[in-house]
Amino acid sequence: MYWNKDMETLSKEKLRELQLERLKRIVRYAYERVPYYRKNFDAIGLKPEDIKTLEDIRYIPFTSKADLREVYPFGMFAVPMSEIMEIHSSSGTTGKPVVMGYTKADLEVWKEVMARSLVMMGVTKEDIIQIAYGYGLFTGGLGFHYGALAVGATIVPASAGNTRRQIELMQDFGTTVLCCTPSYALYLAEYAQDEMGIDPSSLKLKAGSFGAEMWTEEMRKEIEKRFGLKAYNVYGLTEIIGPGVAHECQLQKGLHLQEDHFYPEIIDPETGEVLPEGQKGELVLTTLTKEGVPMLRFRTRDITAFIPGECACGRTFIRIERITGRSDDMIKVRGVMLFPYQIEKAILEVQGVEPHYQIILTRPHHLDEIEVQVEVSKEVFSDEVKSLEALRKKLEKRIEEAVGIRVKVTLVEPKSLPRSEGKAKRVIDKRGLN
């Protein structure tokens, strides 16, 4: 099932021709309209006409989130505000927010790639799609909304939060597709079961599109088991367009990246060197059709790899692996680099615990320490102390095997850790406070 079969199954040769044509156009467009790009090009003596092949993209300087913050709010805009139809931005929790403007054409592209994404997971106009991503400046809610409008599905624009009402809506309206963060999906299932006495698998949900935070294959299985649905991975980011940059098809063998609109590279995050297919590194994206705020070689900081070969679904766009972390989210502890993703994966491989945890970093006596607080299931929590101690030691051993250093595991009672209606906060770094 395709939304735009001619484009989604385009031959590699035709796709490369289209990408090169669009790359040349967007480079010239950005150079002529955005002073930031013109300054960077001129500083190294690069002219738009120097980009003659797709491989020449490597001569273009990278763009980073820090660059966008320096010109806050509208310094990267390529059109006057009279042509901007919509504005979105990041939360700005780690500095000034990143602000993106969308022209009418940009909104049409967003609608297109989101429609493709929904159809990839089997959504049709017969579906009732409940969008529990936040609406507003965050791109999640409206991105899915636009895609669902294009497909013709019935939209329940629930937004994030109001958990009891979310469950009631699913039950009363017969929601078939759920869209939200994976951590919120787990909370919804837990709340339905424990607070409302509703078996989440009794709802009519058949599929869900989950993203906006890192999540593991183990968490996918947990969501699927609790709701009885098929859980799909969606990828996007504010700086590029929002959700819809890539999505899994029904075969779930990687995320198809919409290459006709976003040109991808994988680089070594330390050296910036472009890496070959199959090698893991940082994803870099160039928008090929974006008018409002074109992005040339934007460093996403997301760690992934290209999957070799074509997908059996028939789509020819390149696939990327599940995002396994961010190069700027790596935790350095006693000289060892690790991702929260690795700890989550290890936790969920052990029976008797819930998929809720927090990683707490401290530095007592000038030595880094990691404490991982993990919720146990209700059944295990009522067991004797000896059983809990055995579980704690098992978790410590499994996490140490996964990350290569010793950690302290603290088992906590069910529902004692914070729940999130958006992105979950997994890491609390107190090392600067010691």
What gap in Å lies between CA 420 and CA 423, rounded to an integer?
Answer: 6
From the list 154, 159, 164, the residue with the least C-alpha distance to 143 is 159
Determine the pLDDT at residue 182.
94
User: What pLDDT score does 96 carry?
Assistant: 83
Angstrom distance (rounded) from CA 37 to CA 28 = 10
Confidence of residue 326 (pLDDT cuts 50, 70, 90): confident
Nearest 5°: phi and psi at 72? -55, 140
Report the pLDDT averaged over residues 375-380.
86
The CA distances from residue 184 to 76, 78, 102, 162, 215, in Å, are 33, 36, 28, 11, 12
CATH superfamily of the domain spanning 1-327: ANL, N-terminal domain (3.40.50.12780)
Question: Could you give the CA distance from residue 293 to residue 98 in angstroms, rounded to a whole number?
Answer: 11
Residue of higher predicted confidence among 14 and 430: 14
What pLDDT is stored for residue 433 in this prediction?
Answer: 63
Q: What is the C-alpha to C-alpha distance for residues 306 and 410, in angstroms, rounded to an integer?
A: 37
Identical fold, 1-327 and 331-433: no
* pLDDT, averaged across the chain: 94
How does residue 192 score in pLDDT terms, banded at 50, 70 and 90? very high
pLDDT attached to residue 424: 83
**Residue 272 in tokens:** 């910036």
Q: Report the CATH number of the 331-433 domain.
A: 3.30.300.30
Q: Is the pLDDT of residue 53 over 90?
A: yes
Q: Give every CB contact of residue 49 below 8 A, 6+ residues apart in sequence.
A: none
288 Cβ contact list (under 8 Å, min separation 6): 19, 22, 23, 26, 260, 261, 262, 263
Band (pLDDT 50/70/90 cuts) for residue 383 is low
Mean pLDDT confidence for 307-318: 96
C-alpha to C-alpha distance for 420 and 314, rounded to whole angstroms: 37
**Of the candidates 281, 315, 274, the residue with the CA atom closest to the CA atom of residue 15:** 315
| pLDDT bucket at 250, cuts 50 / 70 / 90 | very high
Confidence band for 166, pLDDT divided at 50, 70 and 90: very high
Task: Please report the DSSP string for 327-376 in residue order.
Answer: TTTPEEETTEEE-HHHHHHHHHTSTTEEEEEEEEEE-GGG--EEEEEEEE
Which has the higher per-residue pLDDT, 371 or 366? 371
Instruction: Give the pLDDT confidence score for residue 332 in this predicted structure.
Output: 78
- Position 434 pLDDT exceeds 60: no
Q: Rounded distance, CA 200 to CA 181, Å?
A: 17
CA–CA separation, 148 and 155 (whole Å)? 7
Is the pLDDT higher at 333 or at 232? 232
What ranges do the domains of the chain cover?
Answer: 1-327, 331-433
Q: What's the pLDDT tens digit per position in 59-109?
A: 999 999 999 999 999 999 999 999 999 999 987 655 688 999 999 999 999
Helices (H), 152-252: 163-173, 182-196, 217-227
Each residue's pLDDT tens digit, 117-128: 999 999 999 999
In angstroms, what is the C-alpha Rg of the chain?
22
Per-residue pLDDT at 419 exceeds 70: yes
134 pLDDT exceeds 80?
yes
Q: What is the b/e burial string over 373-406, where b = at least 16 CB atoms within 10 angstroms of the residue's CB?
A: bbbbeeebbeeeeeebeebbeebbebbeebbeee
Band (pLDDT 50/70/90 cuts) for residue 340 is confident
Predicted confidence (pLDDT) per residue in 263-290, tens digit: 999 999 989 999 999 999 999 999 999 9
Report the C-alpha gap between 136 and 155 in whole angstroms: 16
Q: Which residue has the higher pLDDT, 53 or 326?
A: 53
For 10, which DSSP code? -
Q: State the pLDDT at residue 66.
A: 93
| pTM for this entry | 0.86
